[in-house]
Amino acid sequence: MAATSQPRFAALSGVGLVAAAKEAGLAAFIALVLAITVIGMRTVDQQGGLGIEFRPTVVGIAVGLVFVGRFLLVLWRQRARPLDRGARERVMDRIGAEVLHYSKYAGISLFALAVAVPIIWSGNRYVVDVATLVLTYIMLGWGLNIVVGLAGLLDLGYVAFYAVGAYSYALIALHFDLSFWACLPLAGLFAASFGVLLGFPVLRLRGDYLAIVTLGFGEIIRVILLNWYSFTRGPDGLSGIPRPSFFGFEFTRRPAEGETAFHQLFGWDYSSMHRIIFLYYLILVLALITNFFTLRIRKLPVGRAWEALREDEIACRSLGINPTNTKLTAFAIGAMFGGFAGSFFATRQGFISPESFTFVESAVILAIVVLGGMGSQIGVVLAAVVLIGGTELFRELSEYRMLAFGGLMVAIMVWRPRGLLAHREPTLLLGRTTAAGGGGGP
């Protein structure tokens, strides 16, 4: 609404206030229409059916908030001439580039912090548990980032590979009595082959169709896990999944005859924290492997082909890149890391059931990638810390957690569609080396 001929900071004028009030009034009226039934009349269980509880104050608060919010937004837009999309993107790209520049140091300090967490809080199981959870999501985010961020394939069924990894680890470990270290690569291999199996027929599809099909596959796998009782024990889940050992040394107070337990190896007293801390370092190492792998593979021809394919598929084809094979490698590698994370999840929990692998889980992982900035490794870390760690902090508000997730996804897309720290740097520069930022898109 703001006229572009106005100076950047116009004085508050009466006309502007009235116009803002009018727009806010309109928004408030629409909010009233939306809120009056769904928020204002709550269905409650009563004797003999449902009753209605009227909540006019809640509606009033909601409508008032919308009015004030819209009023301030319109005023702000009148006073400070809003940047157009291009300018905003350029500013944010510059910030992204700065962050990337400093992320070398930030990465090292974050790594140091990550290593130090269990040493600082060695007595506090809760902190280490939350940190482990955050790291699991960081690893999943990095894995999905290969598929979504680098190759530009929107995968809404990533949790399927997480589930395949978890179940293959659990089933192999339970039936064949193999150790964690033997099962882990097998689980990754299974997940990767599932990636190829699912990816092969569908990767010819266009972006949004691909997204829906991957969502369908994710749900199919969950329904099969739920109903194939003889194999997966259905909704009861698999329990008694073997815990990992420290290269053969178990974390038990009293090891079996003739074996050495972890604490005896070092001559320490037994503590239940040993296993927790070991699991923490395990996921830290796994996540770092994912990160390292991604950083390196971006420099390889296949990694460059992914990013090229993301930008322009037709141009890639005309340059002789086989799109299906290239996408398939991204899909399989992303799936493999999902599978690793899945086996870690299984061994940490000791119990898995299809409950843990719903679409919401896929959406959370996707939200982490999208919010952090597609293709940005440090962005995934920040998003996972904020989204997973943040929700742990506000435990009592947990029912608003997914609401905030959804709202944030919309807001970020509207405000900055490629994610907060998205930064597309040419991986290869010819001649001049100054054009680091920008990129911009079609």
Partner 1 sequence: MEYFVQQLINGLTLGAIYGLIAIGYTMVYGIIGMINFAHGDVFMIGAFVALISFLVLGIAGVTWLPLALLLVLLIAMFVTSAYGWAVERLAYRPLRGSFRLAPLISAIGMSIFLQNYVQIAQGARVKPLPPLIQGGFTFMEHGSFTVSLSYMQIIIVVLTLALMTAFSLLIARTALGRAQRACEQDRTMAALLGINVDRTISLTFVMGAALAAVAGMMFLLYYGVIDFFIGFLAGIKAFTAAVLGGIGSLPGAMLGGLLIGLIETFWSAYFTIEYKDVAAFSILVLVLIFRPSGLLGRPEVEKV
Residue 360 binds to partner 1 (criterion: CB under 8 A): yes
- Binding positions for partner 1, 57-86, rule CB under 8 A: none
Residue 49 binds to partner 1 (criterion: CB under 8 A): yes
Alpha-carbon distance of 172 to 186, in angstroms, equals 9
The answer to whether 382 and 205 have CB atoms below 8 angstroms apart is no
Structure tokens at 217: 């596959």
Closest CA to 195 of 221, 170, 175: 221
Residue 219 binds to partner 1 (criterion: CB under 8 A): yes
Helix-helix angle 158-176:323-349, to 10 degrees: 50
Residue 14 binds to partner 1 (criterion: CB under 8 A): no
Residue 288 binds to partner 1 (criterion: CB under 8 A): no
Q: Which range of residues in 8-16, 102-110, 117-125, 360-368 is near partner 1 by CB under 8 A?
A: 360-368
Only one residue has tokens 């898109």, namely: 441
Q: How big is the chain by its Cα radius of gyration, in Å?
A: 25
Closest CA to 389 of 104, 123, 105, 136: 136
Interface residue with partner 1 among 112, 119, 256, 314 (CB under 8 A) is 314
Only one residue has tokens 């493999």, namely: 336
Interface residue with partner 1 among 110, 212, 288, 289 (CB under 8 A) is 212
Residue 27 three-state SS: helix
Backbone angles phi, psi at 45, to 5 degrees: -75, 130
Helix-helix angle 377-384:85-120, to 10 degrees: 60
Residue 235 binds to partner 1 (criterion: CB under 8 A): no
Residue 51 binds to partner 1 (criterion: CB under 8 A): yes
Residue 195 three-state SS: helix
Q: Which is nearer to partner 1, 222 or 275 (CB)?
A: 222
Helix-helix angle 207-227:158-176, to 10 degrees: 30
Q: Which is nearer to partner 1, 68 or 413 (CB)?
A: 413
Interface residue with partner 1 among 111, 266, 394, 400 (CB under 8 A) is 400
Site string for partner 1, 369-388 (x = CB under 8 A): -x------------------
Q: Enumerate the β-bridge partners of residue 250.
A: 261
Interface residue with partner 1 among 38, 112, 119, 428 (CB under 8 A) is 38
Interface residue with partner 1 among 42, 125, 253, 299 (CB under 8 A) is 42
Torsion 406-407-412-415 (CA) sign: positive
Structure tokens at 253: 């107070």
Alpha-carbon distance of 63 to 69, in angstroms, equals 10
Residue 56 binds to partner 1 (criterion: CB under 8 A): no
Q: Which range of residues in 71-79, 151-159, 283-291, 335-343 is near partner 1 by CB under 8 A?
A: 151-159
Number of residues that bind partner 1 (CB under 8 A): 60
Interface residue with partner 1 among 56, 207, 240, 248 (CB under 8 A) is 207
Q: Which is nearer to partner 1, 213 or 287 (CB)?
A: 213
Residue 408 binds to partner 1 (criterion: CB under 8 A): yes
Residue 423 binds to partner 1 (criterion: CB under 8 A): no
Interface residue with partner 1 among 99, 117, 144, 154 (CB under 8 A) is 154
Residue 137 binds to partner 1 (criterion: CB under 8 A): no
Alpha-carbon distance of 387 to 105, in angstroms, equals 23
Q: Which is nearer to partner 1, 350 or 406 (CB)?
A: 406
Q: Which is nearer to partner 1, 209 or 231 (CB)?
A: 209
Q: Which is nearer to partner 1, 219 or 250 (CB)?
A: 219
Do you know the residue count of the chain?
442
CA angle in degrees (0–180, nearest 5) for 139-378-91? 145
Q: Which is nearer to partner 1, 263 or 416 (CB)?
A: 416
Backbone angles phi, psi at 318, to 5 degrees: -70, -15
Residue 184 three-state SS: helix
Interface residue with partner 1 among 26, 61, 116, 224 (CB under 8 A) is 224
- For the chain, the straight-line distance linking the first and the last C-alpha, in angstroms and rounded, comes to 26
Residue 394 binds to partner 1 (criterion: CB under 8 A): no
Query: Which residues of this chain interact with partner 1, rule CB under 8 A?
Result: 30, 33-34, 37-39, 41-45, 49-52, 152, 154, 156, 201-202, 204-205, 207-209, 211-213, 215-217, 219-220, 223-224, 226-227, 314, 359-360, 363, 366-367, 370, 399-400, 402-403, 405-410, 413-414, 417-418, 441-442
